[in-house]
Each structure stands twice: as C-alpha cells, then as structure tokens.
Structure 1
Amino acid sequence: MKDPEILLHYIDTLLKESNFTRAAHELYISQPYLTQLIKHIEQKLETKIINRETIPFSLTEAGIIYYHYLEQTIANNQNLVKKLTPFVLPNNEVIRIGILESLGTFLLPELLPNFLTKNPNIKIQLSETYPRENETRLLNEQIDCYIGQTPETLNHGLDFYVNGGENYYVIISPKSPFFKKGRFILQPNEYKMKDILQEPFVVSSANSAIRHQVNGAFQKFHVKPNIILESKSILTATNLSIKGVGLTISAASIIKRMAQTPINLLPLDNNLIQIKYFLAVKHSIKQNNGLKKLIDTFKKLKIQPSIK
C-alpha cells in the first residue's frame, strides 16, 4: 500500500470513526488488514502516528508530519502529471482549480459541464480547501487558478476577474424570539441589526471567507458576538441555524439547498456584507489556451442566485 491518496483516506476514516472495526467497514476492507497497515507504517517510521489511547483518535506530532508529507506527495504527483501531460498527451491540458468546497458545490456545476464538453482535451484537478490556503497555493504555482468570493481581500500578486454575486440573509428559526409566523423573507429594516447581532450565533470557522465579513458586521455595530458554535462548513452552520441552534448569516445559494422548513430570512444590506465571485490567477504568469478559455467561460456566466 503505497498510494498516498488511499493512505490519506484510510487515516481520515480511522480518525473519524475512532475505531478500527467501524473504519474498516466504512472502507470495505478487513479490520486485521487496516490494523496491520497502520502498524506497518509506524514500524517503518519507528514512531506512532495515531493516538489510540483516548477517544476520539488523534494524530501524534509525528503523525501530523506524516499526514502533511502525504498531502505534499499528492500535490507533487499532481504537479508531475500536469508537467508530463504535454509529452504524454500532447493535445491535452490539465487545469488545477482551487475552490472552497461549499462554494464549489454551487459554482462548479455552473462552470464546468459545458466547458468540459466543448474542451474534451482539458482535464480538471480540484484543490478544495480554505481560501487562504488556495491563495497560497496559487502564489506558489501549485494550482493554476482560484475561484472564490470577496476579491477585495486578495493578495496584490494576483489578477482576478469578477462575475456576479448574491444576497446574504440572517436565518431566523421558529425557536428565535425574532421569528414571525407565516412570513418568509422579511423586510430589510424589519429589525435593528444591532439587536439581531446580539443573539446567539452559529458561524463558520475563522478562516472562511464569509466569517471575515460576519466579524466585520459585529465590529461595525460594536457588538461582542455571542458565538455558541463554530463549524468548518457554512453548510453545517446553515443547517444548524435552520434547526434552531442559533442565528447565522448565509448565502442564497446555500439556503436554497436546504430542506424546506418554516424560517424567516432577514435580507442584509449589501453595504454590510457583499459577495462578488472571482476567478484569480497569478500575476505575470503566462496563461495556456485552456486557462484562457476557462476564464472566458467564467466571465460569461450569469451568477446571481436568489430566493423568492
């Protein structure tokens, strides 16, 4: 077992399940095989990579180093494939796209299907991680472009193309004292924003793009946020808010994907939180034909999700 992507998947599943039997079942392999695989890695490295003494399982300090090594190996392999493509498949081109997963679930289906149909010689590799990490990867030329939101925060070493945007709302569940029965989209001025922001909030993690703007809203109204839960995913934060855990601020494209349930949506002023989508490339880097076509396709999209 030397495939770093498979090894990484096995480790991720084992950490998630914190049980070798459940992890093996999830991976469709035998428990003895998974146990021996981890032991073999630890014997080869001459140190433990996973703490098994406590639940949940966690990576040891050596395990974190090994985990990052696997990630870097995968990135290097992808980079090798890209560099060899002109020689192995002279008519093909690989485009490495960085994007936040929650944004990709909405934007990529708008961008890629027709693009790939018209350009069958182009292959796509995705880097689905946080904005700052994708930005760093783009500056280090580990990816070819980065699709995100709020271009105002981008590094000056990047060029970007803006297209579309969307509205943001405060989600108010029936469990909130601000909920109005029989209503869906409230009037923008129906409540004082300072009063809303003083309520318990569920938010996405600090390195997400939307969180930066949410923090700015709290600061603008001089409110100390009452954050009761953070999630790495805006999808999770939105769902938790819909179920009444706390208020949250989420986008139309996210809310539309959730199960229908009685909620209120309070529209936010664009001057408070404004989302603009962009596709960024590193400044002064020569763009291949495929990347130029992808940029043109992105610029022609009509990206304006809304809720009625």
Structure 2
Amino acid sequence: MNITLRQLRAFVALARTGSFTLAAESLYITQSALSGLMRELENNMGIRLVDRSTRRVQLTEIGREFYPVVEKILSDLDHVLSDVSEKKSLQNGFVRVAAPQLMASTLLPELIAAYNAAFPAVRVKLVDAVVESIVSKVFSGEVDLGIGPEREPNSDIATQTLFSGRFMAVFPAGHPLGNQAEVSWEQLLAHPFISLQGQFTERLRQDLHDAGAAMRIAPSNEVAFMSTALAMVNAGLGVTACISYATSLVTLYRLEMRPLVDPVLHRDFYCFTQHSRSLSPAAQSFKTFASSYLATIAT
C-alpha cells in the first residue's frame, strides 16, 4: 500500500474534528484537497474508514480501531522530528569528551565553560582518563571525541591538530632554578626528575635526541598522573616538566614554572574521532568550537 503521511494526517484531523471543514482548516488545505486525500487513503487500504453524511462525519468500526494507532504513530514521529530539529539547531544535545587527567583538570573545564556560555542547551560530559586510553575510548564509542597528545596512527581514527604546547620546567618556590628567566634541559635534569609512566619519558628522550641534545633522562620516580608529580615536587622530592597549559594547576600547588630551552620542545595535541561514525550536530559544534578556542593558547 502506497500510504503517505499527508493521507494519515488528513484522516487524524478528520477523526478529531468530525468535520471536513474544520479538518481542512486545521491542515491549511481546501476541503476538496482533504476529500481527495481521504479518497486516496481508503482506496489504498481497500476499506472505508469514514461514513459521510450531509450532517456529520463518523468513523467506521475499522476507522475507530485505526485512529488511535495512527494518532500515536504521527505523535511519535512529530516528537522525533522535533527532537532532531532541536539537535540540529543546538537547542539540545549531549557530547562525551575524553581527555588526559592533566588536561581534564586544567584546560578542559575552561573550554567546556566557554562552550556552555555559547551553547547553554548542550550538555558536555567530560571523561578523564590516562593518556593511553583516550583513542580506545573513541574507538569503542564510549565517547564522541577525544583530546590528547599524538598516539600511534590508527586507520579507524581521524585526527585533527588543535594546538601545540611548550614544555616548561616546574620546581618548588625558592628553588635555585627560580633565579633564571629560562631553564635548559641539562639544568633541569641535573636535579631528581619526576616523570610520567607510559610513553611520556620515551617520547621526551626521542624529542631530545631529534633536537640534537645528547643528554640522559633517568627519572628518580615515574607516576601515573601529573598531579601526583606536582604534589611530589611541592614536597621537595624533585622537579618535573609539563606543558604550558597546566599553569593553573602548577599555581594551585604553589610551584614555579620557567620555559625550557636548549632545546625548545613542544607537544602537539589533537582531536580524535571515528572515521566510520558521523558526529552529532552537538559533537560537531563542540569540535569546531574547541579547535577555535584552543588555537588561541598555542605557544
């Protein structure tokens, strides 16, 4: 049966009003157009749904059974279409974002607050995680997108560069390194160096090697999260290096930062999404907003 939405809406309007005149007015069509739609519907179904008389319109027994079902279908459809329209116009929506613990406790709350000010009806869920799990959370569909440093290439994951952050030396207040405007890597590594587990130390070694710096990184301690490293630095157990965007957390621990030189090293940060899955309007708008917002902090 070639039944159309216009025919079903004509039937529901006629069943509600009991009048061709009122039903046609509610649909903003002529009575003849409404009669034509009803005729097409009944012909397609091969059964009469409405008994017509000069005084009133009545539903047949089949029409009475058919009406509540069709009314619910159209109501559900209108609700879905309205929801899609609201999501498209960002009048509502939900975005899930994964980020490393350090970024999730410094940069991402500022980004989300700025996004919420621009799109107050869209809810953003922040998932903080270890760096190595960011891409896997995107791949599994646990989150819509991830933000973090470069990972091993994956044909199922699309990457977009967001910003580049400079490495900074971090040490306690009153430390001898505080007398300098800049700190060399050699000077920093002369002190007990607290590093991060995973790829952090290896990538630092490679970056220093690629920059022609012949120096050895031998961490006095390796921890899972930068917040732990900063707490240890605050306790006088050593020094560390982190990206410039972490200034707020460094300040919270009452530590000092200086730019690292000889060589100057940067770390690129990316947005990760699935190649095979389209982003929702809300997720796409967050990605676009993040790209613009985070580009302003590039150093």
TM-score of the superposed pair, with normalisation by structure 2: 0.58
Q: Distance in 1 between matches of 2:174 and 2:229?
A: 16
In structure 2, the residue matched to 1:185 is 181
Percent of pairs identical after alignment?
Answer: 12
Q: Superposition pairs for residues 143-182 of structure 1, below 5 Å?
A: 143-149=143-149, 151=150, 153-173=152-172, 179-180=176-177
For residues 183-242 of structure 1, what are the alpha-carbon distances to aligned partners after superposition, in whole Å with 9 as ceiling and x for unaligned?
2522x6xx5x446435421112225xx444334356665555332222222122134224
For residues 47-100 of structure 1, what are the alpha-carbon distances to aligned partners after superposition, in whole Å with 9 as ceiling and x for unaligned?
xxxxxxxxxxxxxxxxxxxxxxxxxxxxxxxxxxxxxxx79x764432211111
Q: Distance in 2 between matches of 1:204 and 1:245?
A: 15
Corresponding residue to 2:198 among 203, 206, 209: 206
Secondary structure of the residue that 1:250 maps to in structure 2?
Answer: strand
Q: Which runs of 5+ in 1 are unaligned?
A: 1-85
Say if 2:152 is the partner of 1:141: no
Q: Do the aligned partners of residues 117 and 256 (structure 1) sit closer, same or farther apart at CA in structure 2, a change above 3 Å counting?
A: closer
Corresponding residue to 1:247 among 239, 262, 273: 239
Would you say the 8 A contact 1:199–1:226 is kept in 2?
no
Q: Superposition pairs for residues 5-20 of structure 1, below 5 Å?
A: none
RMSD between superposed Cα atoms in Å: 3.5
Would you say the 8 A contact 2:230–2:253 is kept in 1?
no
Amino acid at match of 1:240: M
Would you say the 8 A contact 1:170–1:268 is kept in 2?
no
Would you say the 8 A contact 1:97–1:124 is kept in 2?
yes
TM-score of the superposed pair, with normalisation by structure 1: 0.56
Q: Superposition pairs for residues 48-63 of structure 1, below 5 Å?
A: none
Q: Which runs of 5+ in 2 are unaligned?
A: 1-79, 87-91
Would you say the 8 A contact 2:156–2:274 is kept in 1?
yes
Secondary structure of the residue that 2:289 maps to in structure 1?
Answer: helix
Say if 2:216 is the partner of 1:216: no
